Chain A
Amino acid sequence: MATYSTSEFKSGLKVIIDSEPCSMIEVEKVKPGKGQAFDRVKLRNLVNGRVWERTYKSGESIEVADVMELEMEYLYEDGEFWHFMKTDDSFEQVAADVNAIADAKIWLKEQDKYTMVLWNEAPISVTAPNFVELEVTDTDPGLKGDTAQGGTKPATLSSGAVVKVPLFVNIGDVLRVDTRNSEYQNRVTK
């Protein structure tokens, strides 16, 4: 079993904690002038996204997680799995289940690129890019000329996401959306 000792800790390191793969976000040494040193680590559980802090007595070790981050192109969904293809020209396909696709499900567009995390070669999470461009498939009719006033309405996008948009947006418009907070950014000229 490969391990990292506390002196090797740094952000980005992938480790196994409580049988689940986690990524180190921040590492801070806690060193009283005359006393035992500790390492305070902010961790993200790569399966469920939970972020928390754990403190290690310096000298302790943690198991290395065989975790890879790959760029993947989204292909299609078959009702049970979401199929992606590696972008390294290998044409190799990987299928993500509902747990792995999780929040990314509502941001999928064929041929767009997503970040997939594989643990022991099995996908555990899919992350959409920070910004995606998607077409509006349903919303109330746009109010002509109302391009400046405030006020929003819901709009359903081709991927299934529902976002708040300005009143002037119409069905068929392509919108740029921030996937981290579902916020409308702007209308993309076609």
Chain B
Amino acid sequence: MVDWRPSASLQNLQQRAQVLAKIRRFFSERDVLEVETPLLASSTVADVYIESISAEVVDGNSSRQNFLQTSPEYFMKRLLASGSGSIYQIAKAFRQEEKTARHNIEFTLLEWYRLSYSLDQLMTELEHLVQDVLDCGPIPRFSYREIFQQHLQIDPHEITLEELQQLVSTEIDLHGSGLSKTDYLQLLLSNSIEPKLPPFCIIYDYPSEQAALATLEADAKGVVVAKRFELFGRGMELANGYFELSDAAEQRARFEADNVARKGKGLQTHDVDEKLIAALESGLPSCSGVAMGVDRLLMLLVEAKTISEVISFDSERV
């Protein structure tokens, strides 16, 4: 028999509608403008660990490769550079990846940017939104260094690759070679730290290698860290925020470094998004931005074990 029914219950879909309404009210009360940006575009991210879904667009006798967007970030930054002021978007995003209990190829992101907000201010706003939706208490914040010192007695910024290998081998029965310092730190975070985190917490000041589109800055100890944070909810990554990189040359360099890494892994490289670079060159106002997984937020609200339970039709039903 053909299974045509949705993967989410009607109750969960009703909860979903209420959460979306709450989010819109939250930003409307704060005068943040709701925007929509294209899901289909000629360029995409070069990030090594994010695979885009390619789509063929036919134009007369020729066709060109376009991509379903993995996040609305580049378009939103172009809006910011054009003078939009603070903006938010509830957008579908697509990533070519294996379906797991918390991953679906097509998912919903809430992404917002706040002009002249520090990362601290944005963390506070995120905390308020999460409290609004999930009715939870204050969300503690730890620096990346603190969390590693507390649970593994190491300084993640100072530790060497050899010391990390040694530590991982006592914590995890690991098979796989050619891992970087970042790989080991992320593995330790998900394997040995996440299970011990409070139900909700924010981790900030990431190692500079994990900067992505965040600016770099020296912390109190003089170590250069990425002005980036992540919100964890019951062991899941819920949101990822940056004090946004506005340096066009640095952005181009990171793009190119990603492409070199992609080539090394035998992956398709992606052209530098010249429109984004041009927008940054014309001037991105100082801002902080964050993207949150709306489906995961809902999973926490309705205590779902899988993302399918909060999505009308998961990728196995489409």
Contact = CB atoms under 8 A, between A and B. Distances in A.
Contact of A55 (B175, B177, B230): B175
Nearest to B182: A35
Interface string A9-49: 00000000000000000001111111111101000000000
Interface string B181-193: 0110011011100
A37 B98 CA distance: 11
B191 A55 contact: yes
A60 B176 CA distance: 7
B172 A55 contact: yes
Most buried by A among B177, B179, B187, B191: B187
A57 B173 contact: no
A54 B173 contact: yes
Contact of B174 (A29, A35, A37, A55): A55
A179 to B, nearest CB: 30
Nearest to A32: B186
B183 A36 contact: yes
Interface string B155-188: 0000000000000000011111101101100110
A52 interface: yes
Interface centre among A31, A32, A56 (most CB of B within 10 A): A32
Interface residues of A, number: 21
Nearest to B265: A59
B55 interface: no
A140 interface: no
Contacts of B212: 34
Contacts of A55: 172-176, 187, 191
Interface string B113-142: 000000000000000000000000000000
Given A34-B47, A37-B49, A56 B183 contact: no
29 contacts: A28-B100, A29-B98, A29-B100, A30-B191, A31-B97, A31-B100, A31-B103, A32-B186, A32-B189, A32-B237, A33-B240, A34-B210, A34-B212, A34-B240, A35-B49, A36-B180, A36-B186, A38-B176, A54-B173, A55-B174, A55-B187, A55-B191, A56-B176, A57-B174, A57-B176, A57-B177, A59-B176, A60-B175, A60-B176
